[in-house]
């Protein structure tokens, strides 16, 4: 099983169909895509001397060449190492070195960062810029046959976003990506060669993973010319392409519906937005459904079980007649078809419905382990189950609701407080744009609740109003004891709020105050 076989299959079945588009122009057909992958694989193996299993890095912003290089790497039997283009140069260097990358393909904007690494990192022998005459030349070499791969062979080394500590490389095999693709068809959206996916989110992460099921079916992969996420461009591309799917972080969905461009946009062509990667607050979700209609599917996954743990289907987003409709909307849904999910106590014993514990996952989509890190692998995969580090609760119907990462849990006076619950309440205030709640050390209570609030432009919001809202909706002990109004929340490159940075800000304040 080699992911490249599915590209070859698509090239045979619908070779003349567009495979990759750049904005509204066809970049290559399936026949051309598969041929290029074979030629570039020849370059990797014969010219660069890469061996099966060698790690080849992709440090590129979103562009058509990303997918060409990805499939060339698989065709050659190597392991892809896609690196988020927005990382700090030091973080990039760490990942390339940790993975022992032997070669790297980069977009021109990143050459200045990546080329010098060839001198610093012992394993790194070559860095090649894409979209140059030399790059195009390697696409016309003679193609080599696809290197056979076992299901357990590595396909993608996926570095976790590292909101705490150093990122770790989750080893994703060809089998893992195959299971993820089958689950996409079963649980997220069926795909045909008349459909397409718009890569508005980083290809090094969820959007790139979701390219795979689309290649299986010969669907078009559209890369925005901006290489990023610009709502007016997104709406223009939606109008140009029928049957369009898109992966988006919750913050992207919110930006889309808050953008001016949505007013005149015709979103008929939009088939599905799969959103996930972080919590979607109920208030935002309702606004998105009002603006876009029945096109939303929520996915909960993590690098270690790519895009595939639980899902809320399109149908469940609009099942308003169900007595627990709201709870289900606020949940992350039911397990994907290809996995088992349970919630356990500290001894890994399954908890009854309604009780909160760590979320465990088992199935063919779960990673093989962490690269070169047997201790982390042993603890993450203890007993054959992936320990996600996420805290959640399963209801009687099998719907999982995530609380928070265990490290974000606040313990005040011996009581557990889930920041998400407090955040949901504060977001009900019209004047609140964004909010994040953390625990700060307290001499008597252990921790106390503190809220960082980003006010909406011209919204007007006061501490008293927010306190009143909390008194109305949640237990008194969960109320924030301190508020800080700030311009923006610290976020990582995937838009996840960095609670660690907020905790540091809070500690800094208390040191200044002699606490």
Of 429-488, binders to ligand AMP (CB under 6 A) are none
Residue 143 CA to its chain's centroid (Å): 33
Query: Mask 342-381, x = binds ligand AMP (CB under 6 A)?
Result: ----------------------------------------
56: left (phi over 0), alpha (psi -120 to 50) or beta: beta
Query: Which of these segments, 15-23, 122-130, 261-269, 274-282, binds ligand AMP (CB under 6 A)?
Result: 274-282
Alpha-carbon span 32 to 16, nearest angstrom: 9
Of 477-496, binders to ligand AMP (CB under 6 A) are none
* Minimum CB–partner distance for residue 199 and ligand AMP (Å): 16
* Minimum CB–partner distance for residue 490 and ligand AMP (Å): 16
Pick between residue 141 and residue 362 the one whose CB is nearest to ligand AMP: 362
Query: Mask 393-412, x = binds ligand AMP (CB under 6 A)?
Result: ---------x--x-------
- Cβ-contact 163, 194 below 8 angstroms: no
What is residue 96's three-state secondary structure?
Answer: helix
Residue 383 CA to its chain's centroid (Å): 26
Short-list 70, 114, 119, CA closest to 93: 114
Query: Token pair for residue 406?
Result: 């265990």
What is residue 84's three-state secondary structure?
Answer: coil
Query: Which of these segments, 7-15, 295-303, 392-400, 428-436, binds ligand AMP (CB under 6 A)?
Result: 295-303
- Of positions 388, 401, 412, 433, contacts ligand AMP by CB under 6 A: 388
Pick between residue 213 and residue 277 the one whose CB is nearest to ligand AMP: 277
List, in sequence order, every residue forming a beta bridge with 222; answer none if it has no partner.
21, 198
Query: Token pair for residue 300?
Result: 């909960």
278 contributes a contact to ligand AMP by CB under 6 A: yes
Of 134-193, binders to ligand AMP (CB under 6 A) are 160-161
Residue 28 CA to its chain's centroid (Å): 26
276 contributes a contact to ligand AMP by CB under 6 A: yes
408: DSSP letter: G
Tell me the CA distances in angstroms from 153 to 47, 49, 54, 174, 396, one per residue in order: 23, 19, 11, 6, 38
Report the 10 Å Cβ neighbour count for 347: 5
Query: Which of these segments, 241-249, 271-279, 345-353, 435-443, binds ligand AMP (CB under 6 A)?
Result: 271-279
Pick between residue 196 and residue 307 the one whose CB is nearest to ligand AMP: 307
- Spatial strand order of the sheet with 18-22 comes to 25-29, 18-22, 220-223, 196-198, 244-248, 270-276, 296-302, 305-312, 334-335
- Cβ-contact 177, 227 below 8 angstroms: no
Query: Mask 105-144, x = binds ligand AMP (CB under 6 A)?
Result: ----------------------------------------
Query: Mask 301-320, x = binds ligand AMP (CB under 6 A)?
Result: xxx-----------------
- Of positions 7, 332, 367, 422, contacts ligand AMP by CB under 6 A: 332
- Cβ-contact 382, 366 below 8 angstroms: no
- Of positions 38, 82, 169, 279, contacts ligand AMP by CB under 6 A: 279
Pick between residue 288 and residue 332 the one whose CB is nearest to ligand AMP: 332
* Minimum CB–partner distance for residue 300 and ligand AMP (Å): 4
Q: Contact residues for ligand AMP (CB under 6 A)?
A: 160-161, 276-279, 298, 300-303, 332, 388, 390, 402, 405
């Amino acid at each position: 099983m080699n992911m490249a076989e599915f590209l070859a299959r698509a090239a045979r079945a619908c070779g003349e169909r567009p495979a990759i588009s750049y904005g509204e122009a066809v970049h290559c057909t399936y026949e051309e895509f598969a041929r290029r992958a074979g030629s570039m694989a020849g370059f990797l193996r014969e010219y660069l001397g890469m061996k099966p299993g060698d790690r080849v890095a992709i440090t590129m912003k979103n562009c058509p060449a990303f997918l060409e290089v990805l499939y060339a790497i698989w065709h050659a039997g190597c392991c892809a190492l896609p690196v988020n283009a927005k990382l700090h140069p030091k973080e990039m260097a760490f990942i390339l070195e940790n993975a022992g990358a032997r070669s790297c393909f980069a977009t021109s904007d990143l050459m200045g960062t990546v080329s010098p690494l060839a001198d610093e990192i012992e394993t790194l022998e070559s860095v090649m810029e894409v979209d140059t005459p030399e790059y195009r030349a390697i696409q016309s070499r003679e193609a080599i046959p696809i290197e056979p791969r076992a299901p357990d062979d590595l396909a993608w080394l996926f570095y976790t976003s590292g909101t705490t500590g150093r990122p770790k490389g989750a080893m994703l095999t060809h089998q893992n990506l195959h299971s993820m693709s089958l689950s996409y068809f079963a649980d997220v959206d069926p795909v045909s060669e008349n459909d397409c996916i718009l890569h508005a989110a980083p290809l090094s992460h969820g959007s790139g993973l979701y390219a795979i099921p689309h290649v299986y079916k010969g669907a078009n992969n559209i890369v925005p010319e901006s290489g990023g996420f610009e709502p007016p461009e997104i709406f223009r591309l939606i109008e140009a392409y029928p049957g369009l799917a898109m992966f988006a972080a919750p913050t992207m969905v919110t930006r889309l519906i808050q953008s001016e461009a949505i007013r005149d946009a015709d979103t008929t062509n939009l088939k599905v937005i799969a959103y996930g990667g972080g919590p979607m607050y109920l208030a935002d979700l309702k606004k998105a459904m009002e603006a876009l209609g029945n096109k939303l599917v929520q996915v909960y996954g993590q690098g270690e079980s790519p895009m595939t743990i639980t899902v809320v289907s399109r149908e469940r987003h609009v099942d308003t007649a169900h007595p627990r409709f709201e709870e289900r909307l606020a949940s992350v849904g039911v397990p994907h078809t290809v996995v088992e999910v349970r919630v356990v106590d500290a001894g890994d014993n399954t908890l009854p419905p309604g009780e909160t514990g760590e979320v465990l996952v088992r199935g063919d989509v779960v990673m093989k382990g962490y690269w070169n890190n047997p201790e982390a692998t042993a603890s993450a995969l203890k007993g054959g189950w992936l320990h996600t580090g996420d805290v959640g609760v399963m209801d009687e119907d099998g719907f999982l609701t995530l609380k928070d990462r265990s490290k974000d849990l606040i313990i005040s006076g011996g009581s557990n407080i889930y920041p998400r619950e407090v955040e949901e309440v504060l977001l009900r205030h019209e004047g609140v744009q964004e909010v994040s709640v953390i625990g700060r050390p307290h001499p008597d209570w252990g921790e106390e609740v503190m809220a960082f609030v980003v006010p909406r432009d011209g919204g007007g919001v006061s501490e008293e109003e927010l306190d009143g809202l909390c008194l109305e909706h949640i237990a008194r002990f969960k109320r924030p004891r301190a508020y800080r109004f700030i311009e923006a929340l610290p976020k990582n490159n995937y838009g996840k709020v960095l609670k660690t940075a907020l905790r540091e800000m809070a500690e800094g304040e208390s040191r200044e105050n002699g606490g």
